[in-house]
Chain A
Amino acid sequence: EIVLTQSPGTLSLSPGERATLSCRASQSVSSSYLAWYQQKPGQAPRLLIYGASSRATGIPERFSGSGSGTDFTLTISRLEPEDFAVYYCQQYGGSFTFGQGTKLEIK
Chain B
Amino acid sequence: EVQLVESGGGLVQPGGSLRLSCAASGFTFSTYSMNWVRQAPGKGLEWVSYITSSSTTIFYADSVEGRFFISRDNAKNSLYLQMNSLRDEDTAVYYCARVGFWFAEDLWGQGTLVTVSS
Q: Which residues of chain A have a CB within 8 Å of any CB of chain B?
A: 1, 32-33, 35, 37, 39, 44-47, 50-51, 54, 56-57, 88, 90, 92, 95-101
Task: List the B residue with the shortest CB-CB distance to A39.
Answer: B45
Closest residue of chain B to A92, judged by CB?
B103
**A-contacting 9-mer, from B17-25, B81-89, B107-115:** B107-115
- Of B8-16, B69-77, B94-102, the stretch lying at the interface with chain A is B94-102
A45 surroundings in chain B (CB, below 8 A): 37, 45, 95, 105, 108
B45 contacts across to A, CB distance below 8 A: 37, 39, 45, 88, 90, 98, 101
C-alpha gap A9/B13 in the complex (Å): 34
Instruction: Tell me if B27 is interfacial: C-beta within 8 Å of chain A.
Output: no
* Complex CA distance for A35 and B111, rounded to whole angstroms: 20
Residues of B with C-beta under 8 A to A54: 101-102
Contact B59 A98 (CB under 8 A): no
In the complex, which residues of chain B have a beta carbon less than 8 angstroms from the beta carbon of A44?
A: 95, 108-111
Roughly how many angstroms separate A57 CA and B103 CA in the complex, as a whole number?
Answer: 15
A98 touches B47 (CB 8 A): yes
Partner of A50, one of B35, B50, B101: B101
List the 5 closest A-B pairs by CB distance, nearest first.
A50-B104, A92-B103, A96-B47, A35-B104, A44-B108
Most buried by B among A44, A97, A98: A44
Given A44-B95, A95-B59, A96-B50, A50-B106 contact (CB < 8 Å): yes
